[in-house]
Structure 1
C-alpha cells in the first residue's frame, strides 16, 4: 500500500515539473536599415540560461529583409508590427518548467567575419508564454566593407601602376541593403576614406567616391617599392554607423 502511494506521488510530481514548450522569435536588425536574413547569410542566434550558461536553442535567422516602405519610410506608432511571416528571424523553441532568465546572443552578419558584431540582450521566459510577432529585436550597428582591389597579398609591379593604383571597395548596410547617391541609404553624407601605409607609416589619405551602387573608388600614387597596407573606413555622422576593411600588398620592380 505504501509503495502504491509513493508511486502515485512520484507520478504526480513528474507531471507537475514537466517542461513546457515555449517559443521565442529572435530577429537581428541592422542599425538604420532592415532585418538581417538569407540574402547576406543570416545572423547566428544563441539562447542561453543565464544561471548555468546552458544553450537552450541556437540557429540562423532566415527570410527576407522586410518591407522597405514600412521600415524605412513610414512613421511608426506604438505597437506597430514591422515584420510578417516572410521577414527574417529565428524561432527558438525551448522547454522550461519555471520562469527562466535567458541571454539572447546574436552574431551578425554570420558569414562576414570582418564586419561581424556580437550583440546581446536578456529577458525572462515564462513557460508556455510565447513571444512572437516582431519578437526580440537585437540591433546590429555598422557597415559591411570588402576591399576588391588591390587584392590581399598581391604582388604589383611598379611599372604596371602608371598614373596610380586604383582602390575599389564594396560597401553595404549590415543587412546587405544597397548604398548609393540619392538612395534610401544615401552615400552623400557618408565619409569613406582609404588610408595608405608603407612599411607601417601613413603616406596618404584618399577620399573615395561612389560612382555606382555599393562601389567606392579612389586612386593612390605609388612611387616606391615596399610593403603596403590599405585601410578603408566608412563613417556616417547621422547614425554613428562605422565599418572597416584592410588588405596588404607588395610593390616590386
Structure 2
C-alpha cells in the first residue's frame, strides 16, 4: 500500500529585476526621483516587494542610436533598476505595477504587467522592462490661482517639458523640441476660449507664448506636449483670475 508522506516545500530565494523605461526615451532613475515598483501575487493581491528604481538613465548611444540585436543588453550595472529577492516554493504569477516618475504627481503614470517567476529561475540582466508613456510637463506661468490685472496683459504662458526619464528636449537634439506640438488650451468661465501654440525657446526644455485676454474672468489653462511620431503626450494645468 502506498502512503502519502507529508513534507514542507523548500523556499528558494529568486531574484527579479524590474526597470522602467520611458517611451522613446531612456530608463527612469534617481535623476527624476525614480519609479515606484510594486510586486504582488497576481491571485491574492498580496504585496511581496516594493521600492524605487535607483541608478542612472543608461547609455544614450546604446539605447537611442544603436540597432538592437537579440539578447544584447541595453542596461548596464549603473542603469536604474529595482531588485527584489522573493522566497518561492512554487511557480508564482506576479503582477508588476510601476508608478513613474514617482515625485512628479501631475505626470505620474501607472503601467502594469504580469509575469511568472519560477523558484531558482531569476529574471535578471535587463530584467523585466516596463514602458512608461508620457512626458513631464510643468506649467510654470501663470501661477496657480494668481490674480492678474487685465492691464498687465499680455501674459506669458511658459512650460518646462522633458521626457519621462528626464532626458532634455532641445532644438534639433535627440529629443527635438521643434518637432513637438506644445499648445495651451484655455477656458474662460468654464467655456472654451482660445488655443495658443507654444514655441521652443533658446533654453532647453522651455516653451512659451504670449496670451492676450479680452476681459476679466476665471481662466483655466491646459498645456499639452505631443509627439506626432510616437503619440507620446504629457499635460499640466493651472487656473488664474484676470481682474479689472
Same fold (TM over 0.5): yes
Equivalence map 1:7-86=2 (5 Å): 13-14=7-8, 17-86=9-78
Corresponding pairs, count: 239
Whole-Å Cα distance in 2 between the matches of residues 159 and 240 of structure 1? 39
**Quick one: which of 187, 193, 213 aligns to 1:222?**
213
Residue 116 of structure 1, CA deviation: 1.0
1:157 to partner: Cα distance: 1.4
Question: 1:6 — aligned with what?
Answer: none
2-side partners of 1:208 and 1:201: how far apart? 21
Verify: 1:173 aligned to 2:130, yes or no.
Answer: no
Mapped to 1, the partners of 2:61 and 2:161 lie a distance apart of 22
Shift of 1:240: 1.0
What's the secondary structure of 1:159's corresponding residue? helix
SS across alignment from 1:178: coil
- What CA distance in whole angstroms lies between the structure 2 residues aligned with 1:96 and 1:56? 11
**Shift in Å, 1:159:** 2.0
Structure 1: state its 5+ residue gaps: 1-8
RMSD value over aligned CA atoms?
Answer: 1.1
Runs ≥4 residues deviating over 6 A: none
Find 1:197's aligned residue among 187, 197, 211.
187
Residue segments in structure 2 that go unaligned for 5+ positions in a row: none
- Correspondences of 1:59-208 after superposition (within 5 Å): 59-161=51-153, 164-208=154-198
Partner residue in 2 for 1:3: none
1:228-247 counterparts in 2 under 5 A? 228-247=219-238
TM-score normalised per structure 1: 0.92
